[in-house]
């Protein structure tokens, strides 16, 4: 279910390595790898792939090579689940919609149909269980995802009630058009630029930028539950410390 441009899967390590301890993170950062080493992890499982483009060399001269060397030297295998996790039924988009209590959800960008007939794709659009003003919705987003802050494009003082909401965890600039076509009154995503935000408002759709990490950190919550249900005590699971890349000062 991954997009053609994506690079999920086993990106470093031995395929036959026995795994007893898994370390979960959104990104394979220096800090995450250090925490995984300290935890004695056999496998790092992230949402974002460290490797997107062909690697011409693996040295300590750049951050990608440095991180790959650190994992390989510690015999830590590395696996990523990116747009396949974004698009799969019951995963990233639906999980985000569930946290906001959305009903009647449909993918923003349909990619295909699963064997059971479920339509899957990137993002989701649905109806709030209870209409909310933009200020109320922004507060709900912060609470639902444990955010230290969120950027809002739109009139926070408006008493207009929002009913239809679109969500695209991660970077959602490319799906603004799909959110508008779906009739969303508010769009919740990350990595929105100034012009994208004000242009969406000009088209009568508010935007709540929760940050790229802000929504997608729910990946580790889901994967911990998923692995525990399937492996029980046979697998030790560790998670990265909260790693919001920006802060309010």
User: Where is 110: in which H helix or E strand?
Assistant: strand 109-113
Q: What is the pTM of this model?
A: 0.94
Cα(120)–Cα(88) distance, rounded to whole angstroms? 6
Q: What was the pLDDT predicted at 247?
A: 66
Q: What was the pLDDT predicted at 242?
A: 84
Q: CA distances (Å), 111 to each of 7, 80, 122, 239, in order?
A: 17, 20, 7, 30
Cα(27)–Cα(96) distance, rounded to whole angstroms? 18
Q: What was the pLDDT predicted at 53?
A: 87
The answer to whether 160 touches 133, Cβ cutoff 8 Å, is yes
Q: What was the pLDDT predicted at 249?
A: 65
The answer to whether 45 touches 77, Cβ cutoff 8 Å, is no
Q: What was the pLDDT predicted at 194?
A: 96
Residues of the chain where predicted confidence (pLDDT) is lower than 70? 246-249
Query: What is the secondary structure of 125-142 as a DSSP string?
Result: EEEEEEEE-HHHHHHHHH
pLDDT digits (tens, 9 = 90+) for 110-128: 999 999 999 999 999 999 9
Cα(215)–Cα(84) distance, rounded to whole angstroms? 16
The yes-or-no answer to whether 9-81+217-239 and 86-209 have a common fold is yes
Cα(90)–Cα(172) distance, rounded to whole angstroms? 19
Task: Domain 86-209: state its class.
Answer: alpha beta
User: Where is 155: in which H helix or E strand?
Assistant: none
pLDDT digits (tens, 9 = 90+) for 10-23: 999 999 999 999 99
Answer CATH for 9-81+217-239 from 3.40.1390.30, 3.20.10.10, 3.40.50.300, 3.40.50.1110: 3.40.1390.30
Q: What are the extents of the domains in the chain?
A: 9-81+217-239, 86-209
């Amino acid at each position: 279910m991954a997009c053609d441009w994506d690079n999920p899967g086993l990106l470093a390590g031995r395929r036959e390595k026995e795994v007893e301890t898994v370390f979960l993170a959104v990104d394979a950062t220096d800090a995450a790898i250090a925490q995984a080493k300290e935890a004695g992890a056999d496998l790092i499982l992230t949402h974002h792939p460290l490797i997107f483009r062909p690697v011409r060399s693996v040295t300590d001269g750049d951050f990608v090579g440095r991180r790959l060397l650190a994992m390989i030297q510690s015999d830590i295998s590395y696996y990523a689940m990116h747009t396949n996790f974004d698009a799969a039924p019951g995963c990233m988009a639906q999980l985000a919609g569930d946290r906001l209590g959305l009903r009647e959800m449909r993918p923003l960008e349909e990619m295909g149909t699963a064997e059971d007939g479920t339509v899957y794709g990137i993002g989701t659009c649905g109806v709030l269980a209870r209409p909310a003003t933009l200020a109320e919705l922004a507060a709900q987003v912060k609470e639902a995802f444990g955010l230290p802050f969120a950027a809002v494009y739109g009139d926070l003082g408006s008493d207009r009630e929002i009913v239809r909401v679109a969500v695209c965890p991660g970077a959602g600039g490319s799906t603004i058009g799909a959110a508008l076509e779906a009739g969303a009154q508010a769009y919740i995503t990350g990595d929105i630029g100034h012009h994208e935000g004000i242009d969406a408002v000009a088209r009568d759709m508010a935007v709540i930028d929760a940050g790229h990490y802000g929504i997608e950190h729910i990946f580790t919550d889901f994967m911990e539950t998923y692995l525990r249900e399937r492996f029980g005590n046979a697998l030790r699971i560790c998670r990265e410390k909260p790693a919001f890349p920006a802060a309010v000062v």
